[in-house]
């Protein structure tokens, strides 16, 4: 039977080998994840640039022609173009925030303007104040 010291050495030996494998696996995963992140970032930059060029050139060449000339799938070209247009639209929306009370949605909430019909002023009767005369004519005091 093994002594306590022998058991401890055996466990440490096993654990050190396992720890070394775990450490190596964690390092490799970290390196690969970092590399992947850099590649994804670069890919996003290339796709954004592709979208910009597609937007800029859309007046002179169509997606179908580009697909024929470049052997790039029209679906990919369309996706890059639409992503760029969507991003541009989102950027414009972020830059220009509508003020409260403006815009087409607010029109339905506003009260319609009331049209005032001109009233014929009647002469003041003796003892009647100008405010009473205006009230009778339907106009607020001080407004002529």
Q: Assess whether pLDDT exceeds 80 at residue 138.
A: no
The confidence score (pLDDT) of residue 65 equals: 96
The confidence score (pLDDT) of residue 58 equals: 92
Structure-token pair, residue 78: 């369309």
Q: Does the predicted TM-score (pTM) go above 0.85?
A: no
Q: Which of 6-20, 51-65, 90-104, 109-123 has the highest mean pLDDT?
A: 51-65
* Model pLDDT for residues 72-122, shown as the tens digit of each residue: 999 999 999 999 999 888 777 676 665 665 555 555 555 555 555 555 555
């Amino acid at each position: 039977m093994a002594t306590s010291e022998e058991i401890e050495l055996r466990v440490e030996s096993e654990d050190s080998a396992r720890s070394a494998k775990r450490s190596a696996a964690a390092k490799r995963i970290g390196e690969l994840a970092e590399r992947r992140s850099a590649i994804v970032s670069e890919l996003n930059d290339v796709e954004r640039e592709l979208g910009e060029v597609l937007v800029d050139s859309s007046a002179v060449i169509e997606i179908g022609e580009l697909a024929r000339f470049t052997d790039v799938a029209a679906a990919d070209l369309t996706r890059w173009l639409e992503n760029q247009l969507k991003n541009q639209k989102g950027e414009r929306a972020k830059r220009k925030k509508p003020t409260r009370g403006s815009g087409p949605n607010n029109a339905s909430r506003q009260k319609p303007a009331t049209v005032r019909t001109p009233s014929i002023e009647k002469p003041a009767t003796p003892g009647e104040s100008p405010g009473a005369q205006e009230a009778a004519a339907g106009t607020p005091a001080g407004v002529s």
